[in-house]
A and B are shown apart, each in its own frame.
Chain A
Amino acid sequence: MLKKLTLTLLAVCCNQALAAEVNIYSARQENLIKPILDIFTERTGVTVNLVTGAADELIQRLSLEGDNSPADLLIAEDVGRLYRAKEAGVLQAVESATINGIIPAEYRDSEGYWYGLTLRSRVIIYDKARVNPADLSTYADLANPKWDNKICVRSSGNIYNQSLVASMISRNGVEAAEAWATGLVANFGRAPQGGDREQISAVAAGQCDLAISNTYYFGGMLKSTNEAERNAAAAVGVFFPDQNGNGAHMNISGAGITKAAKNRDAALQLLEFMAGEEAQAWYAEVNNEFPVRADVPASELLQSWGTFKADNLALEQLGIHNAEAVRLMDRAGWQ
């Protein structure tokens, strides 16, 4: 039986030289990416092979496999991971006039190692009944004692929180960011636990007044098939902070071509396809994200939240400050 499996495997891995194909290590999960890849295959005849997994582990795998790695493209769910991949030396720089013309500079690596493909913002979710949105203003304000025991947020092990803190470091320096984090921790309504959806549910249930969440989780709850989730989402509102300052904290999911890529051209073709209008519309829609290009409108649901000012910080800054952010959160006692 094992032998049979091995043979199939060998057949799979040795096929790669024969037909045009792209091999992807993807931290974006199968159901959120497979359909668009299938469309790509249909259009171009290029076969796409997919392994999904957690970004950090995929990067580790890439770097251990070295130059012989079969992967051509790495897709990650967060800029912090893309930056780690670049630092780990598993990506290669590519220049594509097409892509550079589409994707704004702050959402791609300055040297062309990675490109953002969808956008999300990390926002404040508030209880409509208990919180007046006029009292909300900035991320910095969340450290204000007036929110004592009122804020729900997930653990500091989560990369989105790490990126948020990294952006604070990048804007205001380590000391200010640490003071902020310490203040925020003091305002926690409960020990960090669960994912972003649970933070929103906790607000709806009255455990906290405010939650910090990525936009697509909120969107996912609004469109959920589960009535309780829809009800919870209906009870809360979304607030984009720092509208008078730098704008709401942004993050991307994105991709980079691997250093070991053997199908570089096909991979670039796929990357360009994913930055294309059709893919952008679908790709952003399926996970309730904002398209990375301005000329493709967001879904109706996302548009219904109104326009907002997005932080234009070059996202590679989030990667640069990631490790410091983790240490800082440890020191601040953010579990």
Chain B
Amino acid sequence: MINSVDRAPEGALSSLKTGFYNRLPMLGILLLCLLLSVPVLTILASVTSSSDGVWQHLYETVLGDYVTHSLTLLVGVGCVVLLLGIGPAWLVTMTRFPGSRILEWALVLPLAMPAYIIAYTYTGMLDVGGPLQLWIRETFDVRFGEYWFPNVRSLGGAVTMLSLVLYPYVYLLSRTAFLEQSVCVLEVSRTLGASPWRAFTRVAIPLARPAIIAGLSLVLMETLADYGTVQYFGVSAFTTGIFRTWFGLGSTTAAAQLAAVLLLFILFLVLTEHWSRQKARYHHTSNKYSRLPQIPLTGWKSAAALSYCALPVLLGFLVPFIQLTLWAVDTWHLIDKSSFLTLFMNSLKLASVTAIIALLLGIFITYSKRLRPTLALRGVVRVMGLGYAIPGTVIAVGVLIPFAWFDNTLDAWMREHFDIATGLLLSGTLIAVVFAYLVRFLPVALNTLDAGLGKIKPTMDDVGRSMGLNPLQILRRVHVPLLQGSLLTASLLVFVDVLKELPATLILRPFNFNTLAIRTYELANQERLAEAASSALMIVLAGIIPVIILSKSISRSRPGHDSST
């Protein structure tokens, strides 16, 4: 039976391969992806080795805690970020109330705040010995235990801290989706008798679902990879368990296996989501975009909207920012300021170099996938994507193993044949550091670019080719200009992530090389929170500017938004 002949444009792309006669670049991309998957594959491979009864011990004692705590974290953070992300995104996109224009970008600010720093800060403020509880005890002349106060260092505290800094992913992506939604679709739903609330829950949210899920999965992967916060709060979760097993029990194998279990769990989530999404298509059916009608809110409605949207900014950014500033001022005379500029520049350099490389790799990988979506490439990209969920330390070791192996093998070979000692060429250099960053953060760039590229109709490629352009020319003249927004988003997200990154930098960096994150960690680790504030503040400040650019560029990204006329 001959059917489905006038194929939808999706299918049309596969045809591009006919002309893409040069397979070498494809092979190169595939190899590159494989290289970047080595750390993940190393961990997954550990499943097959034996770990001498460590699992038995874990199972009998702490494994249950690890699983329940990590799941609680996931569910808790997942729910809170949805609440903090989607609602404000919808309100600032669709309505007007006092401050809404500022909140539009301010809601992204907590993205610049590393989770471990916000955890330190709130602990310093709210802990038993902190100023707030001290004030309560002195003012009301009560002793500890005679008044109720929430415990920051708890599972609930960890959920709160992580949610406060991670919700911007959901906010950013769902806001982008809301901006892209055709007003017509929403207006149709209104003419069919739906209230604005119904239009939001029945039309806007389902349409934005892929974006919301994408944001949520970034959040959940960050949550699972978090070590700093849970460790500091003494919550025994999967990540802390990995370290304890690794170093405390001295079983590298069992630790790697724990990490592998984590990865398989994430893979399962990712595939479930992918599978459930395949059933429905979310392409926009209308190409006509009119200006978004922003409904002005008045009275209690505007007050409620303002408080709802201001709360995450207040708790996720302003309060800790002010506290850090106060501490920084307090301890300014104590800290070593001479190296600050170097630290700042080091952080900036690493972040920008990684962002640029991630961008270039991201473009070539996603574009290759578009041209030739082979099973091998798609599989490798999926595996690579898991990197985002792996704790930085585990990645660092996953990078050390192959790099050191390569260096030592090369060294041995060169000694044997040429009597030259090459030593460690890659290990202990910034190349290793940047490589680890790529393993960890390239998935963020890939996700963003994939989504952006997916919105470009395949016929655009076809037009270019019928005009005599080769795939690279099409990339340069058609896709790159169309992807500008996604390119910016991808590079800025990677930039901010690298700025905040700690564990991989700590393990892999060369001699005499420090960053702001390391300085912050070292002081905080000596339980000198106040002195750590200055460098923490500088991380936040370095991250704010890209975060604001990001937020502004998304407002401008709306189709039909005409910046040139």
Tell whether any CB of A sits under 8 Å from a CB of B in the complex. yes
Residues of A within 8 A of B (CB): 1-2, 5-6, 9-10, 12-13, 23, 29-32, 49-54, 56-58, 60-61, 64-70, 84, 154-155, 157, 162, 190-198, 200-202, 204-207, 217, 220, 225-226, 228-229, 232, 322-323, 326-327, 330-331, 335
Are B129 and A232 closer than 8 Å at their CB atoms? yes
Interface residues of B in 215-262 (CB under 8 A from A): 231-234, 236, 240, 243-244, 246-250
B273 at the interface (CB under 8 A from A): no
B530 at the interface (CB under 8 A from A): yes
Chain B residues with Cβ under 8 A from A6's Cβ? Answer: 429-431
Among A6, A49, A193, the most chain B Cβ lie within 10 Å of the Cβ of A193
Q: Give which listed residue, B57, B144, B233, B429, contacts A9 with CB less than 8 A.
A: B429
Interface residues of B in 38-85 (CB under 8 A from A): 57-58, 60-62, 65
Among B231, B510, B519, the most chain A Cβ lie within 10 Å of the Cβ of B510
Are B127 and A68 closer than 8 Å at their CB atoms? no
Q: Taking the nearest CB of chain B, how far is it from the CB of A10, in angstroms?
A: 8
B522 at the interface (CB under 8 A from A): yes
Known pairs A194-B123, A198-B129, A322-B248 / 7 extra A-B pairs, C-beta < 8 Å? A29-B523, A31-B522, A58-B507, A69-B424, A205-B134, A205-B144, A207-B145
Across the two chains, which residue of chain A brings its CB closest to B400?
A: A64
Known: A157-B243, A220-B527. A327 touches B57 (CB 8 A): yes
Nearest first, the 10 closest Cβ-Cβ pairs linking A and B are A201-B129, A193-B234, A49-B511, A206-B144, A193-B153, A326-B248, A330-B61, A56-B247, A205-B128, A29-B522
Q: Give which listed residue, B244, B522, B528, contacts A30 with CB less than 8 A.
A: B522
B357 at the interface (CB under 8 A from A): yes
Are B401 and A64 closer than 8 Å at their CB atoms? yes
Q: Give which listed residue, A29, A61, A198, A323, contacts B525 with CB less than 8 A.
A: A29
Are B510 and A228 closer than 8 Å at their CB atoms? no
Task: Pick from B7-15, B102-110, B189-197, B329-337 the stretch touching chain A.
Answer: B329-337
Task: Pick from B159-167, B305-313, B404-412 the stretch touching chain A.
Answer: B404-412
Across the two chains, which residue of chain B brings its CB closest to A69?
A: B424
Among B234, B393, B525, the most chain A Cβ lie within 10 Å of the Cβ of B234
Q: Taking the nearest CB of chain B, how far is it from the CB of A201, in angstroms?
A: 3
Across the two chains, which residue of chain B brings its CB closest to A57?
A: B507
B423 at the interface (CB under 8 A from A): yes
Known: A9-B510, A32-B526. A157 touches B249 (CB 8 A): no
Are A13 and B397 closer than 8 Å at their CB atoms? no
Q: Give which listed residue, B153, B231, B506, contacts A157 with CB less than 8 A.
A: B231
> What would 17 A/B residue contacts be, using CB atoms closer than 8 Å?
A2-B353, A2-B431, A6-B431, A9-B429, A13-B429, A30-B519, A51-B513, A54-B507, A65-B404, A68-B407, A70-B423, A155-B234, A193-B233, A207-B128, A207-B144, A228-B129, A330-B62
Chain B residues with Cβ under 8 A from A54's Cβ? Answer: 506-507
Interface residues of B in 408-450 (CB under 8 A from A): 408, 411, 423-424, 427-431, 434
Q: How far is the CA of A335 from the CA of B331 in the complex (A)?
A: 33
Chain A residues with Cβ under 8 A from B503's Cβ? Answer: 57
Are B404 and A64 closer than 8 Å at their CB atoms? yes
Across the two chains, which residue of chain A brings its CB closest to B423?
A: A68
Q: How far is the CA of A190 from the CA of B526 in the complex (A)?
A: 22
Chain A residues with Cβ under 8 A from B58's Cβ? Answer: 330
Are B349 and A5 closer than 8 Å at their CB atoms? yes
Q: How far is the CA of A189 from the CA of B95 in the complex (A)?
A: 50
Q: How far is the CA of A228 from the CA of B134 in the complex (A)?
A: 9
Q: Taking the nearest CB of chain A, how far is it from the CB of B421, in angstroms?
A: 8
Q: How far is the CA of A6 from the CA of B530 in the complex (A)?
A: 35
Q: Taking the nearest CB of chain B, how far is it from the CB of A85, in angstroms?
A: 12
Q: How far is the CA of A76 from the CA of B530 in the complex (A)?
A: 25
Are B144 and A57 closer than 8 Å at their CB atoms? no
B518 at the interface (CB under 8 A from A): yes
Q: How far is the CA of A310 from the CA of B375 in the complex (A)?
A: 65
Across the two chains, which residue of chain A brings its CB closest to B236?
A: A335
Chain A residues with Cβ under 8 A from B519's Cβ? Answer: 30
Chain B residues with Cβ under 8 A from A206's Cβ? Answer: 128, 137, 143-145
Q: Give which listed residue, B65, B234, B244, B427, contacts A192 with CB less than 8 A.
A: B234
Interface residues of B in 494-536 (CB under 8 A from A): 503, 506-514, 518-519, 522-523, 525-528, 530
B131 at the interface (CB under 8 A from A): yes
Q: How far is the CA of A70 from the CA of B422 in the complex (A)?
A: 12
Residues of B in contact, count (CB < 8 Å) = 79
Chain B residues with Cβ under 8 A from A323's Cβ? Answer: 248-250
Chain A residues with Cβ under 8 A from B424's Cβ? Answer: 13, 65, 68-70
Interface residues of B in 466-488 (CB under 8 A from A): none
Across the two chains, which residue of chain B brings its CB closest to A32?
A: B526
Chain A residues with Cβ under 8 A from B396's Cβ? Answer: 57
Are B330 and A50 closer than 8 Å at their CB atoms? no
Q: How far is the CA of A331 from the CA of B56 in the complex (A)?
A: 12
Are B511 and A70 closer than 8 Å at their CB atoms? yes
Across the two chains, which residue of chain A brings its CB closest to B123?
A: A194
Q: How far is the CA of A264 from the CA of B519 in the complex (A)?
A: 29
Interface residues of B in 524-563 (CB under 8 A from A): 525-528, 530
Q: Taking the nearest CB of chain A, how far is it from the CB of B102, in angstroms?
A: 34
Q: Taking the nearest CB of chain B, how far is it from the CB of A203, in angstroms?
A: 9
Known: A2-B353, A52-B522, A64-B401. A205 touches B137 (CB 8 A): yes
Are B57 and A330 closer than 8 Å at their CB atoms? yes
Q: How far is the CA of A322 from the CA of B243 in the complex (A)?
A: 15
Known: A9-B431, A54-B506, A198-B129. A31 touches B145 (CB 8 A): no
Chain A residues with Cβ under 8 A from B302's Cβ? Answer: none
Are A49 and B430 closer than 8 Å at their CB atoms? no
B352 at the interface (CB under 8 A from A): yes
Across the two chains, which residue of chain A brings its CB closest to B421?
A: A68
Q: How far is the CA of A99 from the CA of B144 in the complex (A)?
A: 49
Q: Taking the nearest CB of chain A, how far is it from the CB of B413, in angstroms?
A: 13
Are B506 and A57 closer than 8 Å at their CB atoms? yes
Q: How far is the CA of A5 from the CA of B468 in the complex (A)?
A: 40
Q: How far is the CA of A200 from the CA of B527 in the complex (A)?
A: 12
Chain A residues with Cβ under 8 A from B330's Cβ? Answer: 225-226
Chain A residues with Cβ under 8 A from B507's Cβ? Answer: 53-54, 57-58, 60-61
Are B129 and A202 closer than 8 Å at their CB atoms? yes
Across the two chains, which residue of chain B brings its CB closest to A35?
A: B336
Q: Give which listed residue, A10, A13, A84, A226, contacts B530 with CB less than 8 A.
A: A226
Q: Taking the nearest CB of chain A, how far is it from the CB of B147, in angstroms?
A: 11
Q: How far is the CA of A329 from the CA of B70 in the complex (A)?
A: 21
Q: How far is the CA of A335 from the CA of B512 in the complex (A)?
A: 36
Among B231, B353, B424, B511, the most chain A Cβ lie within 10 Å of the Cβ of B511
Chain A residues with Cβ under 8 A from B323's Cβ? Answer: none
B133 at the interface (CB under 8 A from A): yes
Q: Taking the nearest CB of chain B, how far is it from the CB of A316, in angstroms?
A: 16
Q: Give which listed residue, B61, B353, B423, contacts A331 with CB less than 8 A.
A: B61
Chain B residues with Cβ under 8 A from A232's Cβ? Answer: 129
Known: A23-B511, A49-B511. A2 touches B434 (CB 8 A): yes
Chain A residues with Cβ under 8 A from B523's Cβ? Answer: 29, 31
Are B145 and A154 closer than 8 Å at their CB atoms? no
Are A335 and B234 closer than 8 Å at their CB atoms? yes
